[in-house]
Structure 1
Amino acid sequence: MVSPRRLQQCAVAISVFSILYNAAEGVVSVVFGADSSSRALVFFGIQSVIEVLSASNVTWRFFSSFRQGRETMSEVRTSTELKLERTASTSIGALLIALTLAAIGTSIASLVAHEHPTTSDASPIIAAVSIGSMFLLWLPKRYLARALNSSTMHGEAMCTLSCLQLSVALLIGSLIYREWRGGWWVDSVTAIVIALLFGWEGIKMIRWAMDKDFDGGCCASCS
């Protein structure tokens, strides 16, 4: 059985890796997006900033436990542990909502302007790499959220999943437009639907963190 300390170390390690990866992905996406005048690709890069902030919350939350010498798990968390979980969970929930608003706003702007997806190879390549990377990051984050029974880690897993889903939307939109010029709207509409789903997850996270029965774990509706 993996010790609580090792699980927390894994949570910090994977969060640090997420920060580094998403920072690099964000820079590459914005540079290529600006070069090809692709609003979708630029937004894709900006969304990486939200994932960086979310992963930073996880790193802060568990590093705080290390500093205070709380490296074991128990059924009942201390008031300090609850405060850490509540603060980090609320922050990540807010980031999910911010990502929702940004995705919907960008997609609506693209639909109104009849903006067509870029035909450059950069968009599908970046999206494909992101899909693989986000999936490999999401799996262990989901496991750690359950193993640690951490609302914060659950939120980080949801944030990674949302980025994975938006990557799929970007890839599908790019590929469809290459074969069907009339399908320029597909990625924007798909992104709006996906955004509404993880926006609701963000609302649930904040409501759970503010609940009087909040215990720092994953609530039944969040599991």
Structure 2
Amino acid sequence: MEKQQQLYRTAFGLALFTIFYNVVEGIVSTYLGFEDESLALFGFGTDSFIEVISGLGIAHMILRIRKNPESNRDNFERTALRITGTAFYLLVAGLVATSLYNIWIGHRPLTTFWGVVISLISILIMWILVWWKRKVGNQLNSTPILADANCTLVCVYMSIILLISSGVYQLFSIPYMDSLGTLGLAYFAFKEGKECFEKANSDKQCCCT
């Protein structure tokens, strides 16, 4: 029993770290994305802020299942999921519209160097979190915690998209790479938004991968 409680404390700590990391990543990415006129980096940072809302729901979920592993989602979690899903859909609309406009006018970012740096850091941190959350989830035999690990894996995919679009543009200055990367981020943001509403309306414990 003591080991189980320790594992739940670890899971809660990982949830809090995820929230803290996303706050820092969001601030840095949106600032540098705005300064460098990189829509992909700016959108990546905005997504990080939305992940903070999701993270609050995850932290609450862990406290709930720690008390009663068989309990279902409560109103707080469902509300957090709906708010997160709505925010993702708004982000998708903004990213798609702006990226298409940038393609239309031939806009190019000043640099995508920081997109490369931030995406590499994010890939490393998120992979560690995925591994650790899966380890804890397997030890607890907890479907919700394993589902959270899969959600974190989506952040890895988005970081890879940012890395590819930023890296290719930085190396070869290929037009529209920043906008194409933005559309890739919008695709995953749409999937996350859809998943949030599905989960808010059911007790299904999964995440898009």
Pairing 1:197–2:185 present: no
CA RMSD of aligned residues (A): 3.2
State the match for 1:176 in structure 2.
168
Deviation at 1:176, TM superposition (A): 2.1
Deviation at 1:59, TM superposition (A): 2.2
The verdict on how the C-alpha distance between 1:133 and 1:174 changes in structure 2, with shifts beyond 3 A counting, is same
State the match for 1:9 in structure 2.
9
Deviation at 1:60, TM superposition (A): 2.6
Contact kept in structure 2, 1:93 and 1:155, CA below 8 Å: no
The verdict on how the C-alpha distance between 1:60 and 1:128 changes in structure 2, with shifts beyond 3 A counting, is same
TM-score, structure 1 as length reference:
0.73
Aligned ranges for residues 42-191 of structure 1 at < 5 Å?
A: 42-63=42-63, 70=67, 73=69, 77=70, 81-84=71-74, 87-88=76-77, 91-92=80-81, 94-96=83-85, 98-114=87-103, 115-146=107-138, 147-151=140-144, 153-154=145-146, 156-178=148-170, 179-184=172-177, 185-191=179-185
Deviation at 1:38, TM superposition (A): 2.5
In 2: Cα distance, 1:163 partner to 1:87 partner: 23
Deviation at 1:130, TM superposition (A): 0.8
In 2: Cα distance, 1:170 partner to 1:205 partner: 27
Unaligned ranges ≥5, structure 1? none
In 2: Cα distance, 1:65 partner to 1:83 partner: 9
Which string of whole-angstrom CA distances, capped at 9 and with x for unpartnered residues, describes residues 103-152 of structure 1? 3531331122224345242111011111111121122224444535343x
Could you say what secondary structure the match of 1:208 adopts?
Answer: coil
Unaligned ranges ≥5, structure 2? none
In 2: Cα distance, 1:177 partner to 1:189 partner: 15
Which string of whole-angstrom CA distances, capped at 9 and with x for unpartnered residues, describes residues 78-124 of structure 1? xxx3354x642563465255325413531331122224345242111
